[in-house]
């Protein structure tokens, strides 16, 4: 599966710790992340992560392009709900794309753990049978 990890500044430590905790599970997947998040994950783990631009510099939109092309299977986006983000329209657009294209998305640690455990159990194997021709 193709999994993207994104985190706002105040959530970066959380997503790095999440990647460390689930490193063995992530090993079998193609990993993507926005700039600093990907860098910090690679520094803390042995995971290979394709890094896009920082979120405010277009990284959210680059991940959105993967979603629009049905090239992403799961998004974990640890958001900071208590801080206004200058690129909030990009964030809303990214989450809207997940809804439009039926991409499982987690915006907090509890949901991220559930989705990852579901991936481990095979609950998301339906994504492996995706057919681009059936997309909108």
> Which residues are designated catalytic?
60
d(CA 58, CA 62): 6
Phi, psi of 28 (to 5 degrees): -85, 10
Task: Report yes or no: 65 and 4 within 8 Å, Cβ to Cβ.
Answer: no
Report how many helices (DSSP H) and strands (DSSP E) the chain contains, helices first: 6, 5
């Amino acid at each position: 599966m193709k999994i993207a990890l994104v985190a706002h500044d105040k959530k970066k430590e959380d997503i790095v710790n999440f990647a460390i905790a689930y490193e063995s599970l992530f090993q079998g997947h193609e990993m993507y992340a926005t700039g600093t998040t990907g860098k910090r994950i690679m520094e803390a783990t042995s995971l290979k992560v394709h890094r896009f631009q920082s979120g405010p510099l277009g990284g959210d939109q680059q991940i959105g392009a993967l979603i629009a092309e049905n090239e992403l299977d799961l998004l974990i986006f640890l958001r900071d709900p208590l801080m206004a983000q200058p690129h909030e329209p990009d964030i809303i657009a990214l989450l809207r794309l997940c809804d439009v294209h039926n991409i499982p998305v987690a915006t907090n640690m509890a949901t991220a753990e559930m989705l990852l455990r579901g991936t481990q159990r095979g609950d998301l194997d339906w994504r492996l049978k995706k057919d681009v021709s059936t997309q909108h």
